[in-house]
Structure 1
Amino acid sequence: MALDAHTGTTLRGNGRVPGLAYGVARWVQRAELVSPGTPRDGAAADGTTATATAATATAAPDAEQVERERQRFVDAAGTVSARLDARATAATGVSAEVLAANAVLARDRGWAKAVGKGLKKGLGVEEATLAATETFVEMFTRVGGRQAERITDLRDICARVIAELRGLPETGIPAFDQPGVLFADDLAPADTAGLDAAMVLGIVCEFGGPTSHTVIIARDLGIPCVVGASGLTAIEDGTPVLVDGGSGTIHAEPDAQSASAAAAADRELRDKAAAWTGPAALADGHPVDLLANVKDGEGAEDAARGPAGGIGLFRTEMAFLSRPSEPSVEEQAELYARVLGAFPGAKVVTRTLDAGSDKPLAFTGMPDEENPALGVRGIRVDLLDRGLVDRQLDAIAEAGRRVGAAQESPWVMAPMIATVDEARDFGERCRERGLTPGIMVEVPAVAVAVDRFLPHVDFLSIGTNDLTQYVMAADRMSSGLAALNDPWQPAVLRLIHRVVETAAASAAGGTGRIVPVGVCGEASADPHLAMVLLGLGVSSLSVAPAALPFVGAALAEVTLEQCRAFAALALDADTAGAARAAVLGAARA
């Protein structure tokens, strides 16, 4: 983004969904909530006095009063849950999934039970709701990972329930009378899902993690998004802003002519993306293996109706997470066959269970861990029940047989591989079943010694989300560390380059085996970073279906020689920001 002049504040956050947004800032308004346990004078929000809103704790509330207040909470939570369910039904894709999950959270029995305990201690219903919420917030904070990301969701649901208790409208997104840029401290899924992309041109949050629900939904809706923008409150509601969702830059009161021109150029690129239908190729005709990330059969079939050349990441754990017991081999085979059948004859890469950490399995007895991101997850479920992965491999092999000759040797990869013995063992288990084995490169131990892993697998897939987290020693869910947790980090790119070069050298060294190296992490969804990855020699890119046309259209504008030049610029940088700026500058020159 190049501006001739700007006169106001300039802030920098973490760009997560590329694109430019120019319009007035519109701040999300939040209801003022009292602290748990703080006595209030009994005045309702509308100025009336009501026992229901009184917050003064009593020494010994009678059972009838406790039950009355408990029922008010249950009714309010039920109303909020029903609204979320209705919005989930009207939404599609990721938005629908997240809203439905939050509707379930609003009905959580544990939350209701904790509210009841607060009422019995003499708290008013609002304070009991807040106290119960903060109890769960502390619990989620200790667990960390994706559970910590749910803190925003839980507090948002709490605010909606309290608004219902007070007889007030739901808090959240302001009414837009003209297109603008949404500003917030943080956004809950119920805020983000269902946004009108014609009115909400961009999203900027002061907090928020790099893989938060806000980012995921914004990407699904194609809305430029920046999170972790410290000092955002310096920009007042109604201020004209230009937001760059790629670089993470927020200009307040930019030069109007320059900002309008930049936004118009970005709209032109978006129009190209909307018109792009594939197949993926660079401007010089070099073909690109551009694939989709999916989680189920419906997602695979949707992707098959678009420009995806296949599936680079099928997240099988989504079929397990909500189950109280393990799905049978037959149930799994039916699901896997539907996914394989969506792309007959094309590449479909199935990932075995990536459970653990923020995705615990109820039926495995996974332990509570101090640092779950470094604990029992991925292939390490073998430590709890080796048969779990074996039965999954049996189901994938059966699915391949059902689909027929086009998928008779399905590609399967294991997550969180860290040792050569694990790779060897997984490779043998796959080949015994006629499957094509691969591993994810997300643990640095694999990246630095990849030559020792290559003899045991037929392909590699780099998971940039976790690889970046582990290389930079920065929790991927921490908004405060989002700048470190950036796949543009030169150290991460150098490791990727090392993996690709080593795999290529192995093939050139007389082994006769070409081990392709793909990328299936969020990095692939950034069009300019996708160019860099191709320049590093990556053989395939797998992204969310919503990002496919943006990546495909951008790649069609550059040659392989340019991609290699971009990669050299990124590798030569010292910081993620410098790498991104160098590549974006060269691409726009």
Structure 2
Amino acid sequence: MTNEAPVLQGTPVVPGIGYGPVIRPAPRPQITTSSDVVPDTAREAEAARFEAAVDVVAARLRARAARASGAAAEVLQANAVLVEDRAWRGAAEGKIRAGADAVAATVGATAQFVTIFEKIGGLQAERVTDLIDIRDRVLAQLNGEPEPGIDIPEVPSVLLADDLAPADTAALDPALVVAIATTLGGPTSHTAIIARQLGIPCIVAAAGIDDIEAGTAVLVDGGTGQIVVEPDHEDAEAVIERDRADRARIAMWTGPGQTSDGHPIAILANVQDGAGARAARSTPAEGVGLFRTELCFLDRDTEPTVDEQIDIYSAVFEAYQGRKVVLRTLDAGSDKPLRFADHPDEHNPALGVRGIRIAAAAPGILERQLDAVAAAAERTGARPWVMAPMIATVAEAAAFAEQVRSRNLVPGVMIEVPSAALLADRVLTHVDFLSIGTNDLAQYTMAADRMSPALASLTDAWQPAVLALVARTAEAGSVAGKPVGVCGEAAADPLLACVLVGMGVSSLSCAASAVASVGARLSAVTAAQCQDAAQAVLSTDDPPAARAAASRILG
């Protein structure tokens, strides 16, 4: 780039280059409320009008979830649950019974819960963007206005925004929205995760982009976090051409996962249902490294039956018949509450009853899920690996492993809590494998809300403290002779994937869209280079230095 072009810096999330004119989300609806009191005789009809609008918005979100896959489907389904949240709807209906019209009630109930979520903080604060988006969609329906969202650009463009609602991000066309940069959000925010799945270069926590006017040409580098404003056109085209060449090389990679000197590393896909697994089969993914099972639990008033679960699990096992499938048991709670479970009222739900801890709040739910997994395995002839989320103690790992083995399944646990990483050697005396969830491991290690833009650099998976725990866990696996994989967003970063392999990680599981880029990058370096890069990264003090150290060695 020429020196004259201003360069802004954000936190890199999804590698790749995007160049084009800036577009911005359409303005949110203007909120005007009436102080007029609705007569007693009209309140029932007003409540019905509110309920009808909510039902329409929920149905639209479910329809989008049905068309989506992976994390996008999970997030959209969770938002459909949120729009029908009994407490939020009850608050709005209470305001209508007191004389407010449906619009004022929607605005008032939302403001009430935004305040609650912000006070709770953590992952619950993440829902504020979602809740405001839901409010605006309900208001648009009540007022007979078009649903808010992002206008489809006529030419490939770069989307800049304060933040993006999951419903908007999931609907983006990567051919027309060639890059995303947001002021808010973190490396593991919903926007970042969905952008990764769609393969759209993405930067978050980018200061200064609010001053860039729509139509301005910008170049976004999702690998470095740089946004070049009005770059020299020829320079930009040269960068784009190199990116095209990289994409062509990546597209030619067909597996299997290994370094250039033949060191094997399994490249697996993250899926959430049979449709996602079948879609992943079109990639070189060698199996499933993270089968999220909570999708079938979230949008329900009652727990899915064992027979219903058997059908859902069988669809994924059949899609990858004869190959490795790692299933994660129900990871609900916090920002993914279950309607049918007795969730306590927690001040900090991210540190509360979530993951494996749901088993105590909803007795029998884990046992029934494991029964369904075992029955699906018997039906399909599979022998899935089964892991529990949010394991914090050796005793929890031992108890879970006993239940899994009693059903002739392969037991493992997620390493997301620092205590489990520190005691990985002891945990491995009870289980057959470990899988590191870097998203939560970063959040808990750094004591930083992963949604906070002010703390985005702390929740970066390149944080040396986080990688030190990854290395410690991988070393414990090597000593025990048991596999250790990574299934968090870190596994989808091609450069970081090489570093993880150098630490001794044996498998990498990522969004299906990232499989080829990770595999192609690994195929271009030796195992010794990966090890050298790992050692160099572990001696650094911050993410930029860690990235620079890895780049010097790996190219």
Cα distance, 1:239 vs. partner? 2.1
Q: What is the SS of the residue equivalent to 2:298?
A: coil
Q: Is the 8 A contact 1:19 1:244 kept in 2?
A: yes
- Name the residue aligned to 1:366: 343
Query: What is the alpha-carbon distance in structure 1 between the residues aligned to residue 364 and residue 77 of structure 2?
Result: 32
Identity %: 54
Query: What is the alpha-carbon distance in structure 2 between the residues aligned to residue 79 and residue 126 of structure 1?
Result: 15
Query: What is the alpha-carbon distance in structure 2 between the residues aligned to residue 533 and residue 76 of structure 1?
Result: 48
Is 1:28 matched with 2:46?
no
Deviates more, 1:102-111 or 1:227-236: 102-111
Is 1:469 matched with 2:439?
no
Q: Aligned pair in 2 of structure 1 residues 337, 75: CA closer, same or farther (>3 Å)?
A: closer
What does the per-residue CA deviation read over 1:140-187, in whole Å, with 9 as the maximum and x for residues that have no partner? 334545443332233223334434555554443245233221111111
- Name the residue aligned to 1:572: 539
Q: Is the 8 A contact 1:459 1:515 kept in 2?
A: yes
Q: Aligned pair in 2 of structure 1 residues 267, 6: CA closer, same or farther (>3 Å)?
A: farther
Q: What is the SS of the residue equivalent to 1:550?
A: helix
Instruction: Report the TM-score when normalising by structure 2.
Output: 0.90
Is 1:515 matched with 2:482?
yes
Aligned pairs for 1:11-160 within 5 A: 11-31=8-28, 33-34=30-31, 55-58=33-36, 60-64=37-41, 66=43, 73=50, 95=72, 98-99=75-76, 102=79, 111=88, 113-119=90-96, 121=98, 123=100, 125-160=102-137
Query: What is the alpha-carbon distance in structure 1 between the residues aligned to residue 74 and residue 477 of structure 2?
Result: 38
- Name the residue aligned to 1:44: none
Aligned pairs for 1:63-462 within 5 A: 63-64=40-41, 66=43, 73=50, 95=72, 98-99=75-76, 102=79, 111=88, 113-119=90-96, 121=98, 123=100, 125-166=102-143, 168-385=145-362, 387-404=364-381, 407-408=382-383, 410-462=384-436
- Name the residue aligned to 1:51: none
Is 1:497 matched with 2:467?
no
Q: Is the 8 A contact 1:210 1:479 kept in 2?
A: no
Q: Aligned pair in 2 of structure 1 residues 321, 67: CA closer, same or farther (>3 Å)?
A: closer
Q: What is the SS of the residue equivalent to 1:23?
A: strand
Cα distance, 1:83 vs. partner? 5.6
Q: What is the SS of the residue equivalent to 2:219?
A: strand
What does the per-residue CA deviation read over 1:252-278, in whole Å, with 9 as the maximum and x for residues that have no partner? 223333222122212222233333332
C-alpha RMSD of matched pairs (Å): 2.9
Unpaired segments ≥5 residues, structure 2: none
Is 1:549 matched with 2:527?
no
The one-letter amino acid of 2:203's match is V
Q: Is the 8 A contact 1:57 1:121 kept in 2?
A: no
Query: What is the alpha-carbon distance in structure 1 between the residues aligned to residue 64 and residue 326 of structure 2?
Result: 33
Instruction: Report the TM-score when normalising by structure 1.
Output: 0.85
Q: Aligned pair in 2 of structure 1 residues 285, 5: CA closer, same or farther (>3 Å)?
A: farther
Deviates more, 1:112-121 or 1:412-421: 112-121
Q: Aligned pair in 2 of structure 1 residues 461, 107: CA closer, same or farther (>3 Å)?
A: closer
What does the per-residue CA deviation read over 1:446-499, in whole Å, with 9 as the maximum and x for residues that have no partner? 222222222212111111111111111112233332211111001111111122
Deviates more, 1:23-32 or 1:217-226: 23-32
Query: What is the alpha-carbon distance in structure 2 between the residues aligned to residue 350 and residue 70 of structure 1?
Result: 43
The one-letter amino acid of 2:462's match is W
Q: What is the SS of the residue equivalent to 2:294?
A: helix
Q: Is the 8 A contact 1:145 1:475 kept in 2?
A: yes
Deviates more, 1:449-458 or 1:465-474: 449-458
Query: What is the alpha-carbon distance in structure 1 between the residues aligned to residue 209 and residue 144 of structure 2?
Result: 31
The one-letter amino acid of 1:483's match is S
Cα distance, 1:438 vs. partner? 1.5
Query: What is the alpha-carbon distance in structure 1 between the residues aligned to residue 61 and residue 358 of structure 2?
Result: 34
Cα distance, 1:358 vs. partner? 2.2
Q: Is the 8 A contact 1:6 1:253 kept in 2?
A: no
Unpaired segments ≥5 residues, structure 1: 35-39, 41-54, 508-513
How many residues are matched?
555
Cα distance, 1:290 vs. partner? 0.7
Query: What is the alpha-carbon distance in structure 1 between the residues aligned to residue 282 and residue 95 of structure 2?
Result: 52
Query: What is the alpha-carbon distance in structure 1 between the residues aligned to residue 152 and residue 297 of structure 2?
Result: 39
Query: What is the alpha-carbon distance in structure 1 between the residues aligned to residue 58 and residue 363 of structure 2?
Result: 39
Q: What is the SS of the residue equivalent to 1:319?
A: helix
Cα distance, 1:124 vs. partner? 5.5
Q: What is the SS of the residue equivalent to 1:194?
A: coil
Query: What is the alpha-carbon distance in structure 2 between the residues aligned to residue 100 and residue 462 of structure 1?
Result: 25
Q: Is the 8 A contact 2:70 2:511 kept in 1?
A: no
